[in-house]
Homo-oligomer: A and B are copies of this chain.
């Protein structure tokens, strides 16, 4: 049974804080193991990568077969049915169209002192995309990671994906081909992150690594941060549904189940102003779960991490939503726009009764790689800007430099950096 809370209850604050602080992941301490794997890959390159891949994934690779050949990718793509291919292409085109609107513009201008300054954006040269293999192997995630990189103008997009026992869903390779991934390696875990960050003979190093993974992958990303850029440390997925009396309990229940079926600590929370809806959704989740072919994971997730919270008003719901800072927020309301400005911390917001979160996972067009574990307080979903960087541009002429001189030299003196002041003065003392 999911936890039931009522914001009017005297012990609500305590129970809500416990819900917020609840750990949904076993935090494995793998720092030392990961550090030794990274050191090994740096020292022995592809030989270490192949050994570790065979040890952890039983993949039967050699340094020469780490990379998928074009023939293998073509063959896998041919095995994907036409309706899946066209669904992936449809998703790709929508994701691409949306992300193209995220391309930033350079802005360089001259101010009233005659100083030219501004911002220029350029693409990162090479990025690595980590794609989990096995159970949670999602072609949609390949698209969501690769398309923004492509739109940004990244030239090399290197994908790594582990192939436990040599197995990999063909749709993963097909999605990579559709998205324009330039190279694919059958490796995973900390060894894949190390290879991408430092490079080997077979795997040229990249400049940034993105994508979710297990505790080894997350720890490896944390350790190589600085050597390469990283996106975020992904946690379990989560949805918060805010509903009033206008919501359909069966639809809300379906959305809570869709989140719970991710397993691995995924959390579904309903916040509602209607006690009647709370009860109806609770019963509906139970009923629909029994119809789901693979109900075990979803039922377990709902029982362990699910929550239904009744509140006195939508304002109160918005306050709780901001404290939860959920990856996904659904506004199952007739007038979602009214409360929208009050929801300040959320990875993505889904408006109205006809926008199930799952539509954003696949074909809405927006990105499904979003901040989890309350990090929507400070982080954003993946986008084109994550694959570009800004360079500042500054240009003075003799007269604008003269106009800036006094203040600059004064601050240089306060900071005891005489050389700084002199580098300005020397240009004006002629």
Contact = CB atoms under 8 A, between A and B. Distances in A.
A102 B122 contact: no
A423 interface: yes
Given A344-B122, A385-B385, A288 B422 contact: yes
Please state the number of chain copies in the assembly: 2
Contacts of A419: 254, 257-258, 260-261, 292, 298, 358
A362 B414 contact: no
A26 B418 CA distance: 26
Interface residues of A, number: 125
A411 B89 CA distance: 11
Given A233-B226, A407-B90, A418-B261, A347 B391 contact: yes
A273 interface: no
Contacts of A393: 340, 348-349, 351, 366
B353 A427 contact: yes
Contact of A111 (B97, B400, B416): B97
A207 B377 contact: yes
Nearest to A420: B358
A390 interface: yes
Nearest to A395: B351
Contacts of A1: none
B411 A87 contact: yes
B119 A102 contact: yes
A183 B358 CA distance: 42
Interface in A332-379: 336, 340, 343-367, 370-371, 373, 375-379
A73 interface: no
Contacts of A421: 358
Given A344-B122, A394-B350, A427 B356 contact: yes
Given A226-B373, A251-B427, A391 B117 contact: no
B407 A292 contact: no
A349 B383 contact: no
Nearest to A406: B87
A389 B380 contact: yes
A381 interface: yes
A244 to B, nearest CB: 17
Contact of A408 (B254, B362, B376, B377): B362
A389 B261 CA distance: 28
Contact of A364 (B91, B117, B344): B117
Contacts of A72: none
B124 A377 contact: yes
A16 interface: no
A418 B358 contact: no
A415 B138 contact: yes
A61 interface: no
A359 B111 contact: no
Given A366-B394, A420-B261, A87 B410 contact: yes
Contact of A366 (B340, B366, B380, B392): B392
A362 B233 CA distance: 34
Interface in A186-241: 207-208, 222, 225-226, 228-229, 232-233, 235
Given A229-B379, A411-B91, A426 B115 contact: no
A415 B226 contact: no
Contacts of A398: 354
Nearest to A259: B419
Contact of A379 (B257, B389, B401): B389
A88 interface: yes
Contacts of A109: 101
B228 A378 contact: yes
Given A97-B111, A226-B232, 16 more contacts: A84-B410, A122-B345, A140-B411, A257-B422, A258-B419, A298-B419, A348-B392, A349-B394, A350-B395, A352-B396, A353-B427, A354-B397, A355-B395, A358-B408, A358-B423, A359-B424
14 contacts: A122-B345, A139-B414, A140-B415, A258-B423, A351-B394, A355-B394, A355-B395, A359-B394, A362-B411, A362-B412, A363-B408, A364-B396, A366-B392, A380-B391
